[in-house]
């Protein structure tokens, strides 16, 4: 076991029991989740993990359900053009994730006999699957022992163990060592899901509900009087007037159209011509849009 850079809580078993017990009683009933006795199917887990990146559950749920009804297996998605994946992605944002999920489905179909691999290294080799997603799928879908470190988990560990309001901007080696050292010997996947849910529902970023937290009596941050964040300022992401907003407007035109659209239809949705052309060029380069021989555009 790697040596953590911070002292571990004295009663690790008690910490595990408190968090997982709370999870058993309060976890949301989400369609990509299993139960304490039955693991979920791997494909829905992979789909949900890519959809949930930087997108809240409430927005993901209807898109996920429609997606799984249309493409219940990787082979079903792989059989369709990638443009259909982008169209079905709707307004979830960061539509490159749709292309990556389609590419992952193709790889699963052609290289893994249509089954999401259970090997962590094989998961990492899939398009669009990074360290976090590979650990999440291996943990949640296959019950393996991995440190699953999303924003919610990192915030819980920062507060409860380190006494800090927020974790660092990016995952550090020390953080990984701590998360690994905190994993229980058994049912580590339940601990991963439970800490994630605790961060999403109770130990939230802006308004933590310490009065109902199952580990309030063990939380170092609370014991220290909830000290303010002393790191770099935490800035929210801008939206109005950004390239992200412009790209979203252009993609909305293409997504809602049943046939290729003329350039004028794209010009009409964004006033800044230079920014619009830059964003359109980027969409073409990334494969999110295509231009036809007659000068019209489509997904």
Say whether both 219 and 268 belong to one domain. no
- Choose one of 223, 257, 286: the last residue of a domain: 223
pLDDT given for residue 235 in this prediction? 60
Mean of pLDDT values over 163-192: 93
Mean of pLDDT values over 160-182: 93
Say whether both 126 and 179 belong to one domain. no
Annotated catalytic residue, options 49, 65, 69, 277: 49
Say whether both 132 and 171 belong to one domain. no
**Angle value at C-alpha 35, between 29 and 39, nearest 5 degrees:** 120
Q: Catalytic residue at 49? A: yes
Say whether both 69 and 88 belong to one domain. yes
Say whether both 137 and 47 belong to one domain. yes
Give a three-class secondary structure readout of 95-147: CHHHHHHHHHHHHHHHHCCCCCCCCHHHHHCCCCCCHHHHHHHHHHHHCCCCC
User: Could you tell me if residue 124 is inside a domain?
Assistant: yes
User: Could you tell me if residue 1 is inside a domain?
Assistant: no
pLDDT tens for 101-156 read 999 999 999 999 999 999 999 999 999 999 999 999 999 999 999 999 999 999 99
Above pLDDT 70, what percent of the chain?
95
- Choose one of 90, 108, 142: the last residue of a domain: 142
Q: How many CA atoms lie within 13 A of 119 on its CB side?
A: 6
> Residue 28: helix, strand or coil by DSSP?
coil
Please return the burial class of 157, using the count of CB atoms within 10 Å of its CB with bins 0-12, 13-18 and 19+.
Answer: buried
**Angle value at C-alpha 190, between 184 and 191, nearest 5 degrees:** 50
Q: Average model confidence (pLDDT) for the chain?
A: 90
Q: Which residue has the higher pLDDT, 290 or 174?
A: 174
Whole-model pTM: value is 0.83
237: pLDDT strictly greater than 90: no
Say whether both 213 and 196 belong to one domain. yes
pLDDT given for residue 1 in this prediction? 41
* Number of domains present in the structure of the chain: 3
Q: Which domain holds residue 174?
A: 12-27+147-223
Q: In whole angstroms, give the CA distance from residue 87 to residue 194.
A: 33
Identify whether the C-beta of residue 137 lies closer than 8 Å to the C-beta of residue 50.
no
Say whether both 100 and 177 belong to one domain. no
Q: Which two tokens stand for residue 288?
A: 């999110």
Q: In whole angstroms, give the CA distance from residue 2 to residue 26.
A: 32
* CATH (domain of 129): 1.10.340.30
Say whether both 122 and 166 belong to one domain. no
pLDDT given for residue 292 in this prediction? 87
- Choose one of 142, 177, 212: the last residue of a domain: 142
Q: In whole angstroms, give the CA distance from residue 254 to residue 87.
A: 8
Say whether both 131 and 59 belong to one domain. yes
Residue where the block lists tokens 């295509």: 290
pLDDT given for residue 296 in this prediction? 84
pLDDT tens for 66-109 read 999 999 999 999 999 999 999 999 888 888 999 999 999 999 99
Say whether both 60 and 133 belong to one domain. yes
Mean of pLDDT values over 222-251: 78
User: Could you tell me if residue 238 is inside a domain?
Assistant: no
pLDDT given for residue 3 in this prediction? 45
Of residues 273, 268, 275, 267, the one with CA closest to residue 241: 275
Say whether both 49 and 119 belong to one domain. yes
User: Could you tell me if residue 233 is inside a domain?
Assistant: no
């Amino acid at each position: 076991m790697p040596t953590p850079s911070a002292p571990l809580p004295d009663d690790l078993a008690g910490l595990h029991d408190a968090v997982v017990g709370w999870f058993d009683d309060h976890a949301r009933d989400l369609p990509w989740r299993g139960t304490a006795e039955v693991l979920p199917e791997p494909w829905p887990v992979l789909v949900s993990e890519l959809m949930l990146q930087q997108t809240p559950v409430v927005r993901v749920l209807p898109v996920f359900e429609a997606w799984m009804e249309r493409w219940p297996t990787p082979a079903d998605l792989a059989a369709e053009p990638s443009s259909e994946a982008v169209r079905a992605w709707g307004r979830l944002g960061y539509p490159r994730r749709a292309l990556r999920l389609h590419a992952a489905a193709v790889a699963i179909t052609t290289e893994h006999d249509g089954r999401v691999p259970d090997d962590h290294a094989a998961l990492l080799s899939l398009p669009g699957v990074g360290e976090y997603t590979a650990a999440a799928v291996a943990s949640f879908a296959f019950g393996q022992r991995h440190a699953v470190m999303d924003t919610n988990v990192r915030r819980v560990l920062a507060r409860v163990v380190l006494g800090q309001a927020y974790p660092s901007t990016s995952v550090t080696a020390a953080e990984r060592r701590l998360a690994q050292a905190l994993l229980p010997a058994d049912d580590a996947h339940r601990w991963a899901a439970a800490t994630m849910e605790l961060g999403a529902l109770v130990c939230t970023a802006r308004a933590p509900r310490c009065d109902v937290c199952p580990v309030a009596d063990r939380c170092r941050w609370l014991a220290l009087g909830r000290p303010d964040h002393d790191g770099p300022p935490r800035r929210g992401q801008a939206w109005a007037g950004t390239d992200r907003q412009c790209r979203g407007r252009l993609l909305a035109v293409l997504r809602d159209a049943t046939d290729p659209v003329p350039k004028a239809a794209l010009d009409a949705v964004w006033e800044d011509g230079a920014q619009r052309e830059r964003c359109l060029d980027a969409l073409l380069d990334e494969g999110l849009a295509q231009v036809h021989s007659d000068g019209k555009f489509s997904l």
